[in-house]
Structure formats: C-alpha cells, structure tokens
Amino acid sequence: MLEIKNGIYKHYKGGEYKILGEGFDSQDEGGVVIYKSLKDNKIWVRPKSEFLEEVEVKGEKKTRFEFLHEDEDEIWEHRYKRALADYQNLLKQTVKDKEEFVKYALNDFLQNVLPVYDHLKMALGGLKEEEEKNPWVEGVKHVLKQFKSVLEQHGIEEIGTVGAKFDHETMEAIDGAGETVAVEVMPGYKLHGKVIRHAKVIVK
C-alpha cells in the first residue's frame, strides 16, 4: 500500500485538507488517515485504503485525494529546528576549540621553560654527599618542589622512564637494544595527556 506523505491534499470535490497523522482502527486494526479541513478546521478520519483509492468522476478516474504540497508550517519548523541544532553544535564546537586552545597555548612557552627546570634537576643530581647539606642546595630543592607543583597545576606531567618498558609513543631510544629503559638522558613531558617532548633514553 502506498505511503501517505505529510502535507496538503485536495479532495476531488475541491476541498483542501492537512494530514495530521495515521492510526489504526481498533475494530479491524486497519490503517486510518487523520486529516483536517483547511476551510473549517473539522477533523476527519478515513480508512487509508479509501484515502488512497481512485474514484470515477464523469467517466474519468481520479484519486480521491491529490497531494498538492508540503505543509509550509512544518517546513519552517523543520528549518528552525535544523538551524537551532546547527547553532547549538557551533556553540559546542566553539567552546571545545577555546578549551583546546587554552589547554595547549602553554606549549611554546614550556619549550623555553622546561630546559631551565631540567638544568636545576641536573645540578642537584651531580652533587656530592657533603654538598647536599649546603643551605643553598636546600633552597634549590625548595624551588624545584615549587616548580614541579606549578607545572602539575597546569596539567604538565613528567614521563616515567627508568625501569619502565620502552614506549615509542612517549620515548626516543638514542642507544642500546632491548625493551627496558636503563638510563634517562633527557626527561620527557606531557601537557594534559599529550606528549609535548619525548623522553630520550638508553634501553637494555
């Protein structure tokens, strides 16, 4: 059986009607069409088979109801909903893009700052036991602790390496053969989970 298109139909006697929907007859479960007269707003219900059938008028066969066009109100409602959905998607994408920009805007700045942080750590790493008791060393350790805290607050984390399994997505092996990291030559970092500098390591 043919489908009923939503829109405006013209009865073969001249009246115009708007389709409201389809349903089922509780007696025989046959399909029915529900439509409204555009002249007096009366609601009508007719079996779908009758709505779609042809009638004979002066020896000529015509459809009982002829489809004229889609309902303008529904067209504009659809366009409005589509435009609203597009606008909401644009707002979501704009917010997402802004968040991404803010999240990774520090990247270039960090490329200049992180070497300073690395050098401070290297300076402490090469000290002798008696030198570690020096007050200025304690001061540097305190600065390093604050430095690390600030970096973590901005989503920066150091990539764990020594003793870990080599990971080509976060590390770069500059020497050795194997799957375990033996020495870290240069630390690597992530910014909000994204690698901004691969750790340079020696594997064994």
Number of folded domains that form the chain:
3
Supply the pTM of this predicted model.
0.50
- What is residue 12's DSSP assignment? T
Which of 23-37, 75-89, 144-158 is the most confident on average? 144-158
Range in 136-145, 153-162, 192-201 the model is least confident about: 136-145
* CATH number for the domain that contains residue 54: 2.30.30.320
44 and 131 assigned to the same domain: no
Instruction: State the average pLDDT over residues 151-173.
Output: 93
> What letter represents residue 92's amino acid?
K
The DSSP bridge partners found for residue 69 are: 8
Q: Would you say residue 21 lies in a domain? A: yes
Range in 12-26, 106-120, 177-191 the model is least confident about: 106-120
Q: Would you say residue 97 lies in a domain? A: yes
**Side-chain-side CA neighbours of residue 54 (13 Å):** 7
* CATH number for the domain that contains residue 120: 2.30.22.10
33 and 88 assigned to the same domain: no
pLDDT band at 161; cut points 50, 70, 90? very high
Task: Return the exposure string of 130-161: e unless at least 16 CB atoms fall within 10 Å of the residue's CB, then b.
Answer: eeeeeeeeeebeeeeeebeeebeeeebebbeb
87 and 151 assigned to the same domain: no
% helix / strand / coil in the chain, to the nearest 5? 40, 30, 30
Domain containing 157 equals 107-203
66 and 135 assigned to the same domain: no
50 and 80 assigned to the same domain: no
Q: 43: closest CA among 59, 67, 23?
A: 23
Q: Would you say residue 116 lies in a domain? A: yes
Task: Return the exposure string of 20-54: e unless at least 16 CB atoms fall within 10 Å of the residue's CB, then b.
Answer: eeeeeeeeeeebbbebeeeeeeeeeeeebeebbee
Strand residues in the chain grouped as ranges (E) = 8-11, 16-24, 31-37, 43-47, 54-57, 60-63, 65-69, 156-158, 171-175, 181-186, 189-191, 194-197, 199-203
Q: Would you say residue 3 lies in a domain? A: no
Share of the chain above pLDDT 90, in %: 38
88 and 47 assigned to the same domain: no
13 and 93 assigned to the same domain: no
Residue at token pair 């004979």: 56
Q: Would you say residue 2 lies in a domain? A: no
**Side-chain-side CA neighbours of residue 116 (13 Å):** 11
In this model, does residue 1 exceed pLDDT 60? Answer: no
pLDDT band at 57; cut points 50, 70, 90? confident
173 in Cβ contact with 149 (< 8 Å): no
